[in-house]
Amino acid sequence: MADINIDEYVTPGWFEHANCKGIDTEIFFPLFNGSSTMDSRMNKKRALAYCASCIVRENCLFRGMYSPSDTGIMGGSTFVQRSRERRLIREGKPREITAHWKE
Ligand code: SF4
């Protein structure tokens, strides 16, 4: 993906309106916090539920897509989903989680 200045494309101060602001962010890193598989699944589900009703989800997803080193759940997507999406974009294949984005 193109090297861009993310801040030019997202709403300034977007994280102030994040559903996850102020909560324990451990659940957003379900595979990296040393918890059991069952706990990881539960944490992933809980994190995605926060994202589902988050009004700044698109800003977060954009940031996650253009920050490959960000490993947690962002914008309702997992690290693996974003990695796959980047590959689909590079290969010119139909997108999944960013299918609604304009070119
Ligand atoms: S989309 Fe999810 S991870 Fe991103 S700010 Fe909202 S709740 Fe947090």
Q: How far is the CA of 88 from the centre of ligand 1 (A)?
A: 23
Tens-place pLDDT, residues 6-59: 888 889 999 999 999 999 888 998 776 566 788 888 999 999 999 999 999 999
The pLDDT of residue 51 is 98
Ligand 1 atom closest to the CA of 56, numbered from 1: 6
Ligand 1 atom closest to the CA of 75, numbered from 1: 1
* Whole-prediction pTM: 0.89
Burial of 5-38, coded b for 16+ CB within 10 Å and e otherwise, reads: eeeeebeeebeeebbbeeeeeebbbbbeeebeee
Tens-place pLDDT, residues 63-95: 999 998 888 999 999 999 999 999 999 999 999
The pLDDT of residue 39 is 84
The pLDDT of residue 7 is 85
Q: What's the CA gap between 19 and 44, in Å, rounded? A: 15
Contact 71, 79 (CB under 8 A): yes
